[in-house]
A and B are shown apart, each in its own frame.
Chain A
């Protein structure tokens, strides 16, 4: 079912449902990843996996990544396929909803940014800006399951 879970990001506890995002992503994953010709590069996992982020930095990096996807990625993922576009809209609006929930932690100073998360996010931005914007956006969208797996 569309399961709300309590996510623990360090001191921050947020009740969110990623089931609908995952269902939407699964429906378009093959289509999106087929548009990403550069197999040897990763936006989120280069040079280090998200799993290397310490738990104290989890909230900050998650907050950064929600902003990254909402502000930078989704808007450059328009396709000629209306089904895919609808699913991207569904994911984007769900991210907006989650971003707002996580923002509450940020406001309550439960989402402090350490050196590591700051460096990691800089690396992600560098990976992103190393490609042309559409390729970078499509690759980032294609890596959404990496983020979801890491979050869960």
Chain B
């Protein structure tokens, strides 16, 4: 009976910023709801554990044609992935991703940041991208690019203090992400510049 249900096709991976998704084309059976189950196999399983497969943590008998495999891809090795269709007691053959997936190939986008001039204080607000991410923030006084300074922000809590600015001066900031687990960085964000408040000292 399994032969009636075709295996899922067009299986591919979408991986951005260490979030990994397996996608496939739907298997259409008129008037029926087809479900899908995903399994993964790390290099360890292939080489040391008789090529065994492990059910995905998120995707067992799901109706979507996309599975978040981020939790399953938890080491920097080559993973094989497969999905099959299920309808009642009927199961298709496995559709297997062509080639392997290693999280080292995830695409890293520049971080979203907001630069704030709070009086004389240069602050930066960074988007929380998850525990795997650190940020390398570069900042400088406009016109003094050669005296660029670096701050590594490991824990994105709220706002990071970068520097105390000279009155009325312009300061510029750009940042990139760094993922230690795969030892890779994103490209830099757009540069953002702000102006410190003017000199408001009072003459007595």
Contact = CB atoms under 8 A, between A and B. Distances in A.
Interface of A: 1-4, 15, 17, 20, 24, 70-71, 74-75, 82-83, 85-86, 89-90, 92-97
Given A15-B183, A93-B77, A74 B57 contact: no
Interface stretch (B37-45, B113-121, B168-176, B189-197): B37-45
Given A1-B154, A2-B132, A4-B183, A74 B48 contact: yes
B43 A2 contact: no
Interface string B124-159: 000000011110000000000000000000110000
Interface in B35-61: 42-45, 47-49, 54-55, 57
Given A86-B57, A89-B45, A97 B180 contact: no
Contacts of A75: 48-49
B192 to A, nearest CB: 24
Given A93-B44, A93-B75, A1 B131 contact: yes
Contacts of A2: 131-132, 179-181
B74 interface: yes
11 contacts: A2-B179, A20-B181, A74-B49, A89-B45, A90-B74, A92-B42, A92-B45, A92-B49, A94-B76, A95-B44, A96-B42
Contact of A89 (B44, B132, B155): B44
B166 interface: no
Nearest to A24: B74
Contacts of A82: 54-55, 57
A86 B133 CA distance: 23
Contacts, number: 73
Given A75-B49, A86-B72, A1 B180 contact: yes
A92 B155 CA distance: 28
Given A1-B155, A74-B48, A96 B43 contact: yes
Contacts of B43: 93, 96
A17 B44 contact: no
B184 to A, nearest CB: 11
A112 B42 CA distance: 30
Given A1-B131, A1-B132, A20 B54 contact: no
B131 A96 contact: no
A35 to B, nearest CB: 19
Nearest 5 CB-CB pairings of A with B: A93-B75, A93-B42, A90-B74, A4-B180, A92-B44
A97 B76 contact: yes
Given A1-B132, A89-B44, A96-B44, 17 more contacts: A1-B131, A1-B180, A2-B132, A2-B181, A4-B183, A17-B180, A20-B75, A24-B74, A70-B44, A70-B48, A82-B54, A89-B54, A93-B74, A94-B75, A95-B44, A96-B43, A96-B47
Contacts of B75: 20, 90, 93-94, 96-97
Given A20-B74, A97-B76, A3 B180 contact: yes
Nearest to B78: A93
A96 B48 CA distance: 10
Nearest to B181: A2
A145 B49 CA distance: 23
